Amino acid sequence: MTSDRLLEQFKEIISNAAPGNVFIPSDFAKIASAATISVYLNRLKNSGELVSCGRGLFMKPRFSTLLNESVPPSTNDIARAIARKHGWTIIPHGDTALNMLGLSTQVPNSFSYISDGPYKQYSIGKTELQFLHTNRISELKNTSYETALTIQALKSLGKDSITDKDIQIIRRKLSTESKEKLLTEGQYATAWVCEYLKLIRTGGK
């Protein structure tokens, strides 16, 4: 394959992704060797078609016409790219889960995720990323991201602190399809969590 054709394949993958998407080298593993991928990713970074956002992480540029400036990648997109790079399963935890479902309006300075990988901490600009190892993440491996996120948010709120307002906020955040999956995917969660999943599915207390 010629270098021009290979470069076009890289550009095609990038073109098909949404602005702000974070890539890792293995996203291009089907079309080139590791050494070649490194060369082309750096070439695309130098040309401005990709932006480096961490070691081995490259973002498709995203521009805000409202702010008239480039927008950095979301912390969650970076976290998921890091997890993909290392083959970890991660799920937002604590205040991070609450923020993502709109249950907290305060943007955390530290984003935390439970993970089946080792404990790791990264600094992304002024934001900290924490991956907290747990042996119990296997319970959530066969659930969709939205169901796992909802379960973690409910646990973060606590059994006796969840209000009908919280239920309605979660319902508005989830698509119809995601709400349909809650009961089947969350059937092995703690009993009280299952009861709240039913309320989210059906509409309230």
pLDDT of 205:
56
Count the domains in the chain. 2
CATH code at position 29: 1.10.10.10
Q: Which residues of the chain have pLDDT under 50?
A: none
Tell me, letter by letter, the H, E, C secondary structure of the chain: CCHHHHHHHHHHHHHCCCCCCEECHHHHCCCCCHHHHHHHHHHHHHCCCCEECCCCCEECCCEECCCCEECCCCHHHHHHHHHHHHCCCEEECCHHHHHHCCCCCCCCCEEEEEECCCCEEEEECCEEEEEEECCCHHHHCCCCHHHHHHHHHHHHHCCCCCCHHHHHHHHHHCCHHHHHHHHHHCCCCCHHHHHHHHHHHHCCC
pLDDT of 204:
59
Residue at 170 is within a domain: yes
Distance of alpha carbon 91 from alpha carbon 17, whole angstroms: 23
Do 123 and 38 fall within a single domain? Answer: no
pLDDT of 120:
94
**pLDDT digit string, tens, across residues 2-21:** 777 888 999 999 999 999 99
Do 147 and 47 fall within a single domain? Answer: no
Distance of alpha carbon 96 from alpha carbon 103, whole angstroms: 10
Do 48 and 130 fall within a single domain? Answer: no
Q: Is the whole-model pTM more than 0.85?
A: no
